[in-house]
Amino acid sequence: MALHRVWVYGDNVNTDVIFPGKYTYTLKTPEEIAVHALEDLDPAFAGGVRPGDVIVAGRNWGSGSSREQAVTALKYAGVPVIIAASFGGLYFRNCINQGIWPVVCPELRQWVQTGETIEIDRQTNQILAAGRAFAIPSLSPSVQAILDGGGLLPMLQRRFGKVTV
Amino acid sequence: MSGYTFAEKALARAAGLTTARAGDILDIQPDLIFSHDNSAAIRRIFEQTGAPAVVRPERIAITLDHAVPAPTTQHAQNHAEIRRWVQEQGIRHFFEVGRGICHQVISEEALVLPGETILGADSHSTHYGWLGAFGMGIGRTEMAALWATGELWLRVPESMKITLNGKLQRSVTIKDASLRILGDLGVAGGQYRAVEFAGDALSTLTLDERPVLPNMMAEFGAMSAYLPPDQAVFDYLEPRRTRAYTPLYPDHDAIYAAEYTLDVSNLEPQIALPHQPDNVVPLSEVIGQPIQQAFLGTCTNGRFEDLQAAAEVLRGHRVRCRLVVIPASSQVYLRAAQSGVLAALVEAGAAVGTPGCGPCMGNHMGIPAPDEATISSANRNFRGRMGTPEAPVYLASPYVVAASAICGHLADPREFLSDRF
């Protein structure tokens, strides 16, 4: 059982407001990238986020570009889980491949506000919030294996015999 | 048993299987993979994998297009890193600064063919549906995995059928129809799905018009989009292709998660208002809104006929606001130069840039000041997309971009074309 503080956002939050395109070829280090997370959506986020915080969003979180920094900016900011009513298709794949857990939960957003705390119970696959329990849908075994392995890169490193750092 | 969709057939083929169904998770081997200025970042991920060298370098394409010529030292270093890398790895399909936008260049070079699968580190990789190929965008780490192994996991998407009937009126384009689809069904209308287009309107479209539809489906949340290839596509490919291909078509009894039909015959010019591509209204509702910049170009609407359409509107006029024109490729540029289209644009006051993505995603060559409005022929108008969060971006057809440039406000192109009908 883990407790997480939440940042709550609306529907159709696109990749450009999560991580602006103008930075995609110039910023390289995790620290630089994390600083611009959600820059054009919520300027308070990058300064206020703490490791373990999670995003709770509405429909179509991460629609738009295939840019991975829209996922890694949050990962580098310490966000381990993103919960949304639904995800942009490329964004969902990028989450899995970066080892950040995308949880589809259509109702949660109506029950929580930014700054509140939720519990994620991986044993029972439930989110506990506002005195309620929300089911977490299971992923297919092969996709779950990538996520559990920390993402695509660690899997490749194991395949090519390179020690994971 | 029911039939198969295009996506089911194409992905089964790419996985070396006889059949596959929506929902199946497959390891596929794409026929072509490509990336652009992001190749330097992909290389850095690739290095971390421990893989000795890229596999199948002959099936890799790399274009420099997102910020060309390099606007800063950092961008230049990025390009230099990519040049060293393609040399080192023997990647022959490398396209230098000035050749054009990845989707346009790969189409012109016929590096992907009907029935094939192409994965690109770019969300508008849905583009290749115009050739009857399965095209999908992926992330940088996924591309590094493909360089290392030649394979990637993929869930076969459910399909959605969009039928377009009728014939567009003059100066109303397939861009207007694409915007209408987004306006009707929303940016999540095709979420996780593969879109299949059908209907008698498709065969009336020229080869320059066709890519607009699958390209715009990236804004629809679609994983991929497909137009059934016809003789016009085969004829286009014949002198260019370097391998044989087998086009794939969906079965008549394939299963669709949703269907939608649009008659385009009476469609009016459409426009997407800030800050989402599905914030679409008929142009007539917003005529007169002031703009400070017009941008004609991109993988969506930077082809020869797009420039020609703009020239048709602009001939005999001077623009009242900045007009930035960026041809989608060197071939487009050359054809526009040789046909007099380029001269007409420059005479009207256009500033013409190097083939590439230009200001579309806010890198350079036309970034608006705060509060300056841009009318663009691109596909995406998210807040901050062109580099400035306070700057509104409108999306429309090349005709509308040109007419608005003349007026300095949103304008109906039919006003400038009526005497020539």
* Domains of chain B, first to last: 6-262 (3.30.499.10), 272-420 (3.30.499.10)
Annotate B306-359 with DSSP letters as a single string.
Answer: HHHHHHHHHTT---SSEEEEE-SBHHHHHHHHHHTHHHHHHHTTEEE--SS-TT
Residue B226 three-state SS = strand
Could A66 and B122 be called an inter-chain contact, meaning their C-beta atoms sit closer than 8 Å? yes
Q: What is the pLDDT of residue A25?
A: 84
A115 is a domain residue: yes
Q: What is the pLDDT of residue A26?
A: 87
Q: What is the pLDDT of residue B161?
A: 98
| CA neighbor of B313 nearest in space, from B213, B189, B221, B403 | B403
Q: Is B69 on the interface with A (CB under 8 A)?
A: no
Q: Is B121 on the interface with A (CB under 8 A)?
A: yes
Could A90 and B141 be called an inter-chain contact, meaning their C-beta atoms sit closer than 8 Å? no
A155 is a domain residue: no
From the list A63, A71, A93, which residue is nearest B188 (CB)?
A63
**DSSP-derived secondary structure letter, B1:** -
> From A157, which residue of chain B is nearest by alpha-carbon distance?
B49
Q: How many residues does chain A have?
A: 165
From the list B145, B222, B363, which residue is nearest A152 (CB)?
B145
Distance CA B47, CA B35 (A): 16
Mutate which: A23, A72, A152, A155, vs B, most B CBs within 10 A: A152
Alpha helices in B168-314 (DSSP H): 174-185, 212-216, 231-237, 298-301, 304-314
Could B144 and A156 be called an inter-chain contact, meaning their C-beta atoms sit closer than 8 Å? yes
Q: Is B253 left (phi over 0), alpha (psi -120 to 50) or beta?
A: alpha
Distance CA B262, CA B260 (A): 7
User: Tens digit of pLDDT for each residue in B44-66?
Assistant: 999 999 999 999 999 999 999 99
User: Tens digit of pLDDT for each residue in B163-195?
Assistant: 999 999 999 999 999 999 999 999 999 999 999
**For residues A49-67, average pLDDT:** 96
Interface of A with B in 100-139 (CB under 8 A): none
Rg (CA), chain A: 15
Decide: B174 and B211 in contact? Cβ < 8 Å.
Answer: no
Nearest CA-CA distance, residue A71 and chain B, Å:
10
- Indicate the Cα dihedral angle B43, B46, B47, B48, nearest 10°: 130
| CA neighbor of B341 nearest in space, from B311, B306, B309 | B311
Q: Is B122 on the interface with A (CB under 8 A)?
A: yes
Report residue B143: phi and psi, to 5°: -65, -40
Q: Is A24 on the interface with B (CB under 8 A)?
A: yes
Q: Is B233 left (phi over 0), alpha (psi -120 to 50) or beta?
A: alpha
Interface of A with B in 43-62 (CB under 8 A): 59-60
Q: Which positions in chain A touch B45 (Cβ < 8 Å)?
A: 153
Nearest CA-CA distance, residue B191 and chain A, Å:
6
Q: Round the average pLDDT of chain B to a whole number and report it.
A: 97
Q: How sure is the predictor about B421, in pLDDT bands with cuts at 50, 70 and 90?
A: very low
Domain count, chain A: 1
Q: Round the average pLDDT of chain A to a whole number and report it.
A: 94
Could you tell me where the beta strands, DSSP code E, fall in A28-140?
54-57, 81-84, 101-104, 117-121, 126-129, 132-135
| CA neighbor of B113 nearest in space, from B223, B255, B4, B13 | B13
User: Tens digit of pLDDT for each residue in B111-135?
Assistant: 999 999 999 999 999 999 999 999 9
Q: How sure is the predictor about A28, in pLDDT bands with cuts at 50, 70 and 90?
A: confident
* β partners of residue B210: none
Distance CA A38, CA B122 (A): 20
Decide: B336 and B303 in contact? Cβ < 8 Å.
Answer: no
User: Tens digit of pLDDT for each residue in B327-380?
Assistant: 999 999 999 999 999 999 999 999 999 999 999 999 999 999 999 999 999 999
Q: What is the pLDDT of residue B27?
A: 95
A27 is a domain residue: yes
- Indicate the Cα dihedral angle B248, B208, B268, B359, nearest 10°: 110
User: Tens digit of pLDDT for each residue in A130-151?
Assistant: 999 999 999 999 899 999 999 9
A142 is a domain residue: no
| CA neighbor of B240 nearest in space, from B113, B392, B93 | B113
CB atoms closer than 10 angstroms to residue A76: 18
User: Tens digit of pLDDT for each residue in B200-215?
Assistant: 999 999 999 999 999 9
* β partners of residue B35: B62
| CA neighbor of B129 nearest in space, from B27, B29, B69, B198 | B198
Decide: B123 and B137 in contact? Cβ < 8 Å.
Answer: yes
User: Tens digit of pLDDT for each residue in B248-307?
Assistant: 999 999 999 999 999 999 999 999 999 999 999 999 999 999 999 999 999 999 999 999
Residue A54 three-state SS = strand
| CA neighbor of A131 nearest in space, from A146, A115, A145, A118 | A118
Decide: A46 and A77 in contact? Cβ < 8 Å.
Answer: yes
Residue B395 three-state SS = strand
User: Tens digit of pLDDT for each residue in A61-106?
Assistant: 999 999 999 999 999 999 999 999 999 999 999 999 999 999 999 9
Q: Is B160 on the interface with A (CB under 8 A)?
A: no
Q: What angle do CA B20, B25, B26 make, to 5 degrees?
A: 70
CATH of the domain at A71: 3.20.19.10
Decide: A88 and A142 in contact? Cβ < 8 Å.
Answer: no
Distance CA A157, CA B133 (A): 31
User: Tens digit of pLDDT for each residue in B395-405?
Assistant: 999 999 999 99
Q: Is the pLDDT of residue A164 over 60?
A: no
Range of the domain at A25: 2-137
Q: Is the pLDDT of residue B162 over 50?
A: yes
CA distances from B109 to B10, B55, B94, B142, B242 (A): 21, 21, 11, 24, 10
Could A90 and B223 be called an inter-chain contact, meaning their C-beta atoms sit closer than 8 Å? yes
Angle at which helices B73-89 and B39-49 cross, to 10°: 50
Q: Is the pLDDT of residue A165 over 60?
A: no
- Report the percent of chain B where pLDDT is more than 70: 99
A143 is a domain residue: no
| CA neighbor of B152 nearest in space, from B23, B11, B251 | B11
Distance CA B20, CA B10 (A): 9
Q: Is the pLDDT of residue B418 over 70?
A: no
Alpha helices in A4-58 (DSSP H): 15-18, 30-35, 45-48
- Report the percent of chain B where pLDDT is more than 90: 99
A55 is a domain residue: yes
* Omega cis (within 30) before B275: yes
A49's tokens: 């986020």
Q: Is A26 on the interface with B (CB under 8 A)?
A: yes
> From B27, which residue of chain A is nearest by alpha-carbon distance?
A142
Q: How sure is the predictor about B409, in pLDDT bands with cuts at 50, 70 and 90?
A: very high
A165 is a domain residue: no
From the list B52, B155, B362, which residue is nearest A22 (CB)?
B362
A108 is a domain residue: yes
From the list A89, A97, A142, which residue is nearest B221 (CB)?
A89
